[in-house]
Structure 1
Amino acid sequence: MKKRLLLPALLLGTLQVIANQDSVTVDLGEVIIKENRIEIPFNKVSRNISIISRKDIETTPARSLQEVLSFTPGVDVRQRGVTGVQGDIGIRGGGFEQTLMLINGIKLTDPQTGHHIMNIPVPLQAIQRVEVMKGPGSRIFGQNAYAGAVNIVTMLPEERSLNLQSYAGDFGMKGISMVSSLPVDLPFGKYKQTLSISHDASNGHWYNSDYKVTNVFYEAGMDLNEKNEIRAMAGYTDRTFGANGFYTDRFPDQWESIQTFLASISHTYDHNDIYIQTRAYWRQNTDEFRLRRNEPEFFTNNHVSDVLALEVNGRYQSNFGTSGFGVEGRSEKISSTNLGDRERAFLGVFAEHRIEFWSDFDFRAGVYSNYYDEYGWRHFPGAELGYQLTDRSRFYTNYGASYRIPSFNDLYYEDPSNVSNPNLLPEEAQSFEVGYKYFNKSVRFELVYFNRYTKNLIDWSRAPSDVSPNPNRWTPSNISEVTFQGIETGIQYALNLGGKNFKIREASFSYNFIDANLQQIPGIESRNTLTALRHQVIGGFQAEFFSNFETNIKARYIERMALDPYFLLDIRLDYNRLKTFGLFAEASNVTNANYIEAGFVQMPGRWFRAGINLNLFK
């Protein structure tokens, strides 16, 4: 039976980037997906989820989370420049406004614009793993998780440690990071804490593309007793960069400076069959944008947005299954020289239940109800059904409704290149998914078909012009109806092929196809929808040689709906990665491809960087 299942899985399975520890095997048996309420082992989840492990982060040829995510099947990363100074994340054809980012379940909602959701204050070296949920997440996370969600998970180690890393490369690129863990034994328990700091800078890969990015992240936690835990975190990121081509091609001297602060505190009660977590968080984003870098008096926008939220989530385990419940209240405010002083408030209520029956089946259903004063109550149901064919293979299907309220930029932003539309309606979608997965300690496969029917899709477009650059202004509008559908398929295999001096540890391949029944009006330019992914191919392998060397080679073929396709090859080489002293070198765009991911930013050709890594323990 297992051999008969293995052959079609090899042909049709979907790649998931999935090691949960630093080994050559692929074993997710111990990974628990935490969704704020119900927790489910990875191998019993009835949706398509990719897990990026700590090992994946360390060995991927990347200097930022955005670059790491670009190797995840079904995820569309559109960077403006290198090393993640700004990047938009789309999932399954969705735009950057339709993806929710989280840190340990804390939502990084930005009411001004989705361009800021990747202002992550956590250094890359401090991230333990990343969970990428593809498909509607409104029932689980609320209205911002329209097409998917990305949850960054950090850890509070029990032992002392110190990691230092430094690198330099092309374009005057340089960076340094520190990740430290310093638990303290107190009379009433162990106080666990981590402090992480990073700084990256570059002269830029083309005119007016220099940047400086600084991140500071502190996290602490304590078990008060066997039932109660307190946890807190605070983060700050400062990003200042030349923004040539970021938003328009009419002003090559654009410049932007962004500071983001995040703070949260939570209390968790976990005893027997009851789990309740209460938490509060605050996120502030300050944004200064100039059309002419050295002439602020020509045109400058200053925005300060604040998000303040309180959440209570819980679950109850009974003989009838697991029940989840939650309530959230969130206030969003902005004070802006362009958008004006705006504010809005949301109330959300969650309820769901999961049961297992007939030994091999499980069913989960729930609803998220959202109240917003302008639109009243809206309800978003969802359900999942799974069948465990064997202990290593699973069929599943799910349905979900999702919803997104326009950002303040969508509604009110105007400048010489853009005009607002205060009459925009919220986006709404109905999504369906069916999939099959096979998994064991060395192999992972998945095949998925998805369909998302969208009403009132928001996109920015502008009329054609014979003048270059185009003088017409961009404006957002609701597109009446659009259906996105696609297939995700791939394989990851821990091979362990070779001899003593050279061994291929792992090989992977994935293919993703997205189709949208959206017709482009001749000459009309689209910022987002008409440039979504159509074909995405990702492949790679990891190898070891002479015991101390590791290499990771990644290749991508990207074809968008209205842009020329391109092929990218990236390579990383590590020496003594897990030892006290290690070296690494990376090369991006080895084939020297000519391409644009977002806006009008010409991405760099072949570029290199190299550095050192220190792992110190007491």
Structure 2
Amino acid sequence: GDRYTQNRYALAASYLFTGINERLNLSVNGRGEIVNHQSFLLPGLNASYDVNSWLQFRANVQRSYRVPTLNELYYNPGGNPNLRPEKGWSQDAGYTISIRRGWILQHSLSAYNRIIDDWILWLGGAIWTPHNIASVHSRGLETENKFQYKLHNVTLHLGVNATYTLATTITSYLPGDGSIDKQIPYTPLYNGQANIGFAWKRLYLNYNHTYTGLRYITSDESFSIPSYTTGNLQLMYSLPVSDNRLQFTAQCGNLWNEQYQVVNARPMPGINWLAGMAFTFNK
């Protein structure tokens, strides 16, 4: 078959300013790239402020530019050699709380905003093909939360992450396609996951529960696939062998045998099992 190459060269630089008793950090950065015959400059600004030992605020502004991958351009079948690069600006701001008191509590919340021209999105039926959406406005909230507590030689952990994403079409290359102000396909408004488990000596056990919200599969929101949840269980045991390590792993996927689809009309497996073993050599 045909062979394609993508030559990429990059040069990056940044400057960090620290002030107010080393609590304030300001960073200006720039990255220049040349991909084949395309060149672009990506400036950015980062800021963070430590209010005290457990609270930090942060903000970021960044220019973005993404050249289509070889897979997106030439995958057979389905590649689109006429794809244009994604380009735009992104901003985010948030805070992080981290408390250590014989236990560990971490919480972060971020709000983000992105306006991207020529957003690349894969769509299709039997054959999927990437397309450019003229302009997309993506904004939302993300939160990560973790709690860890050690009791004697048992470490308990609990984590909850959640995301709200509103990603809508601003302008379209296909007038009258009904996509304006509609959620882009396969992007749920809500998703999240929770983890709970423990580590005891060489044994590690974790239960993971995920939620993925309803997703539209057409640009005009006329068809959708329902939300779903999955449960996954993982067990690991590490055994030292001289200076090396032998690790056994057992996993149960889709523990509750949920019937769901990640891609329309392509059902995912029910309850499934996986076992493995890894040997790590240490020099």
**TM-score when scaled to structure 1?**
0.38
Q: Does 1:588 align with 2:253?
A: yes
Query: How many Å separate the matches in 2 of 1:428 and 1:457?
Result: 8
In the other structure, the counterpart of 2:269 is: 604
**Alpha carbons of structure 1 residues 578 and 396: separation in structure 2 relative to 1, 3 Å:** farther
Q: Does 1:458 align with 2:120?
A: yes
What is the deviation of 1:534? 2.8
Post-superposition CA distance 1:519-542 (Å, at most 9, x none): 89579xxxxx51134322211212
**Alpha carbons of structure 1 residues 346 and 496: separation in structure 2 relative to 1, 3 Å:** closer
- SS of aligned partner of 2:7: strand
What is the deviation of 1:544? 5.0
Match for 2:187: what amino acid?
Answer: A
Question: Please, which of 209, 222, 231 is the counterpart of residue 569 of structure 1?
Answer: 231
Structure 2, unmatched stretches of 5+, are 217-224
Q: Does 1:368 align with 2:31?
A: yes
Q: What does 1:19-418 correspond to in 2, within 5 Å?
A: 337=1, 340-359=2-21, 360-372=23-35, 374-375=37-38, 377-413=39-75, 415=77, 418=78
Determine what percentage of the aligned residue pairs are the same residue.
Answer: 21
- SS of aligned partner of 2:256: coil
Match for 2:24: what amino acid?
Answer: F
2:155·2:199 contact (CA, 8 Å) conserved in 1? yes
Match for 2:51: what amino acid?
Answer: L
Query: How many Å separate the matches in 2 of 1:615 and 1:411?
Result: 38
Query: How many Å separate the matches in 2 of 1:549 and 1:421?
Result: 48
Match for 1:559: what amino acid?
Answer: G
1:460·1:475 contact (CA, 8 Å) conserved in 2? yes
In the other structure, the counterpart of 1:486 is: 140
Structure 1, unmatched stretches of 5+, are 1-336, 463-469, 524-528
Residue-pair matches, total? 258
Post-superposition CA distance 1:111-142 (Å, at most 9, x none): xxxxxxxxxxxxxxxxxxxxxxxxxxxxxxxx
**Alpha carbons of structure 1 residues 589 and 409: separation in structure 2 relative to 1, 3 Å:** closer
1:495·1:507 contact (CA, 8 Å) conserved in 2? no
The one of the two structures with greater contact order (alpha-carbon pairs below 8 A, sep at least 6) is 1
What is the deviation of 1:512? 1.1
Structure 1 or 2: more strand by fraction = 2
1:364·1:383 contact (CA, 8 Å) conserved in 2? yes
In the other structure, the counterpart of 1:445 is: 107
Post-superposition CA distance 1:506-528 (Å, at most 9, x none): 111111111111389579xxxxx
Q: Does 1:506 align with 2:169?
A: no
What is the deviation of 1:485? 1.0
- SS of aligned partner of 1:517: strand
Post-superposition CA distance 1:217-243 (Å, at most 9, x none): xxxxxxxxxxxxxxxxxxxxxxxxxxx
Query: How many Å separate the matches in 1 of 2:36 and 2:280?
Result: 52
**Alpha carbons of structure 1 residues 479 and 496: separation in structure 2 relative to 1, 3 Å:** same
Match for 2:192: what amino acid?
Answer: V
What is the deviation of 1:487? 0.8
**Alpha carbons of structure 1 residues 494 and 409: separation in structure 2 relative to 1, 3 Å:** closer
Post-superposition CA distance 1:140-175 (Å, at most 9, x none): xxxxxxxxxxxxxxxxxxxxxxxxxxxxxxxxxxxx
Query: How many Å separate the matches in 2 of 1:613 and 1:423?
Result: 44
Query: How many Å separate the matches in 1 of 2:255 and 2:76?
Result: 40
2:215·2:227 contact (CA, 8 Å) conserved in 1? no
Match for 2:85: what amino acid?
Answer: P
In the other structure, the counterpart of 1:23 is: none
What is the deviation of 1:559? 1.9
- SS of aligned partner of 2:261: coil
What is the deviation of 1:410? 3.6
Query: How many Å separate the matches in 2 of 1:374 and 1:616?
Result: 44
1:432·1:451 contact (CA, 8 Å) conserved in 2? yes
1:504·1:541 contact (CA, 8 Å) conserved in 2? no
Q: Does 1:434 align with 2:93?
A: yes
- SS of aligned partner of 2:30: strand
Query: How many Å separate the matches in 2 of 1:341 and 1:608?
Result: 38
Match for 1:605: what amino acid?
Answer: G
Query: How many Å separate the matches in 2 of 1:614 and 1:374?
Result: 45
2:211·2:229 contact (CA, 8 Å) conserved in 1? yes
In the other structure, the counterpart of 2:190 is: 535
Query: How many Å separate the matches in 2 of 1:372 and 1:617?
Result: 39
What is the deviation of 1:421? 4.3
Q: Does 1:477 align with 2:142?
A: no
Match for 1:379: what amino acid?
Answer: L
